[in-house]
Chains A and B, each alone.
Chain A
Amino acid sequence: MSDKNISSPTRGNTSCHAADRHRSHWVERFLDGWSVYRKNTIGRIGLTLLGLFALMALVSFIPQWVSPIYHPMTGVDPLISHSTGPSMRHWLGTDYIGRDIFSQLLAGARIAFMVGISSALISILFGTSIGMVAGYAGRRTDLVLMRLADMIMVMPTLLVVLILSALFGQLNIWVIVLVIALFRWPGVARVIRSQTLSLRHRPFIEAARVSGASHLRIIFRHILPNVMPLALLYMTFRVTSAIIIEAALAFLGFGDPGTVSWGMMLQWVWKTGHMFQAPYWLLPPGICISLITMAFYMTGRAMDDVLDPRLRKEETQA
């Protein structure tokens, strides 16, 4: 971890971009990483899948616009009063009160992205700031923050959210997002902290300090850009865990009753006793949750290869 190549604008095949000097450092770095990422099969599969899911989320508004009977939550087909299999009218069949499963599946993609990305953003924000402060400040601040992180790390997040919903009743989807985020930052904070520790005594930080930059300026102007790629990498993993926790919570019957998520759909199949009779209903939501998790995970692993040149070398040797 310590010898990770974090800020090296001159890495790899920069020579081909050298001609256009007006291109900013960030664009350069991005294109640089992208050229490596593109060669990674796992990364390509992950991004393709993510693209498909994003498309699903985008078109999720169409069915209810075509006809109100396709509304994922309130649309009930007047001709159908029980779960039916796939047909031309309902591509994936209907659930126990005649709602269209296909449009529910599309709406689920929207919820998954919403939950995953917003929760990951918040926990990355927390994790990165706490990690940087702990690593930079050191001593007692570091000790206290890391002990706190350890303590939260051993708490099973799903069960914590369960306890909260026992006490406060049905939780709103944004509360769920926030709670997941608040319990998922320690892993990020640890990684960012060790990265910050390795940066702290680099000459450019010392130089900034000598020239009179404040601590805040050093942290946000000089350390942050260097830990950013790592934070982004961890974001993909946090998206995964947030989606899984929300789905599991909904599956157990403690999700936001106002949303149609994939976990919710599974809960309906399970609780209404359709799991043996209605594979057309049981299979799609589970496949979607598993695939979107896999897609984010694969994207993350591929990004890891981009960020860690050692790994990349090993992969090409193979």
Chain B
Amino acid sequence: MGLKRFIIRRLVEIAVIFFVIMTLLFVLFRLAPGDPVSRMVDPSMTPEDARLLMASMGLDQPVWTQYLYYLKNAATGNLGVSFHYGEPVTHILMNRLPNTILLFTTSIIISALLGVFLGKIAAWKRGERTDTLMTIGALFCHTLFLPWLALIMIWFFAYWVGWFPITGMVSPEVWIDPDAGFMVKALDVLHHMALPLMTLVLIHFGSYLLVMRSSMLETLKDDYIITARAKGLDEKTIRDHHAAPNAALPVVTSVGLSLAFSINGGALTETVFTWPGLGRELVFSVSHADYPLAQASFLLIAIVVLLANLVVDVLYAYLDPRIRY
């Protein structure tokens, strides 16, 4: 069972990386100007209260003890209380996590599929006008500045044409209505998701298209394609069943490599569209100096990226039978 061992090894690696990130965060939070208390303590508090608050958070302990407490708390999912919401950050973030995963995975899957589909056609029509148009279009979309594209999308589709809601994830009136069934609610979310999704797909499909195109061009030179031709198979079968599946593998790799880039884009998209996800929570907490929330959202985003990397690797092994771990 090679795959199982591979997954376990990767999980251990992820745990190590995560541990390093946590330690770095701890060090950074200590290095930051001003001690943690002065950032938390209200000026109206008496020195006695401040001391009590410090003691209650273990800040009067030596740094090493604090570090161990921090690790223990993080392991048990206790990452502190948000200054702004006054709720445990784990609770807030667990509410946000599904929203981010929904937007993130849907956008990556759609843009990868679109990139593979269009890249296949571009490579097949190499040198023709379709190819040139597609390559330039992909380059153009890929280099658009994401937040700006998001603003333009809102301006055009939500404000000018008025097809989609401007921001948010749900319309309150639909969710308060007791008669609204699951379908109605799902459609409402989809309606809100359309614009952020379109923005992300437009930005991301281009690079996948370019990867697919060049990989397909390489594949078309392979012997088994010549064999397929010699057997007299029709062109469409050769393209879709012989060349494309193999050529699509590098796209999977490139999805894995661009995950960090995608999560940056995700955070920007969530912020502009006020999509209640992790990225937006991080941006929000940073601008409101909500340290526990900022720290926890960063950690959670790191976990999402690391696990998504693992999923991509496993998917690669599944798609490519030559690879056995």
Report A's interface with B, CB cutoff 8 A: 42, 150-151, 153-159, 162-169, 240, 244-245, 247-248, 251-254, 266, 269-270, 275-276, 279, 282, 285-286, 289-290, 293-294, 297-298, 301, 314, 318
Contact = CB atoms under 8 A, between A and B. Distances in A.
B215 interface: no
Chain B interface mostly helix, strand, loop or mixed? helix
Given A164-B28, A247-B145, A276-B155, A156 B264 contact: yes
Contact of A244 (B145, B159, B286): B145
> Which bucket holds chain B's interface residue count?
35 or more
A157 B263 CA distance: 10
B294 to A, nearest CB: 5
Nearest to A293: B143
B315 interface: no
Given A251-B147, A251-B268, A275-B151, A318 B286 contact: no
Interface centre among A153, A155, A269, A285 (most CB of B within 10 A): A155
B164 interface: no
A276 B152 CA distance: 9
The 5 closest A-B pairs by CB, nearest first: A286-B148, A318-B127, A167-B32, A294-B143, A166-B286
B74 interface: no
A52 to B, nearest CB: 16
A159 B285 CA distance: 12
A155 B139 contact: no
Contacts of A162: 282-283, 286
Contacts of B151: 266, 269-270, 275, 282, 286
B155 A159 contact: no
B20 interface: yes
B185 to A, nearest CB: 29
Contact of B267 (A159, A166, A293): A159
Contacts of B279: 159
30 contacts: A42-B139, A153-B257, A155-B21, A162-B283, A162-B286, A163-B298, A164-B28, A165-B286, A166-B285, A166-B286, A167-B29, A167-B32, A244-B145, A248-B145, A252-B271, A253-B287, A254-B287, A266-B145, A266-B147, A270-B151, A270-B272, A276-B155, A279-B155, A282-B148, A286-B149, A289-B145, A294-B139, A294-B140, A301-B139, A318-B127
B286 A163 contact: yes
Given A163-B28, A290-B143, A294-B140, A157 B286 contact: no
Interface of B: 17, 20-21, 25, 28-29, 31-33, 126-127, 131, 139-140, 142-149, 151-152, 154-155, 159, 217, 257, 259-261, 263-264, 267-268, 271-272, 279, 282-283, 285-287, 289, 291, 294-295, 298, 301-302, 305-306, 309
Given A159-B263, A252-B268, A298-B139, A166 B145 contact: no
B143 A297 contact: yes
Contacts, number: 126
A290 B294 contact: no
Contact of A157 (B17, B131, B260): B260
B145 A293 contact: yes
Given A269-B151, A279-B155, 5 more contacts: A154-B17, A157-B264, A248-B268, A252-B283, A293-B143
A42 B159 CA distance: 35
B220 to A, nearest CB: 11
B159 to A, nearest CB: 5
A167 B285 CA distance: 11
Nearest to A250: B147
Contacts of A294: 139-140, 143
Contacts of B159: 276
Contacts of A151: 17, 20-21
A98 B134 CA distance: 42
A168 B32 CA distance: 6
A53 to B, nearest CB: 14
A254 B31 CA distance: 20
B175 to A, nearest CB: 27
Contacts of B131: 318
Nearest to B14: A154
Contacts of A156: 260-261, 263-264, 267, 301, 305
Contacts of B146: 248
A165 B17 CA distance: 23
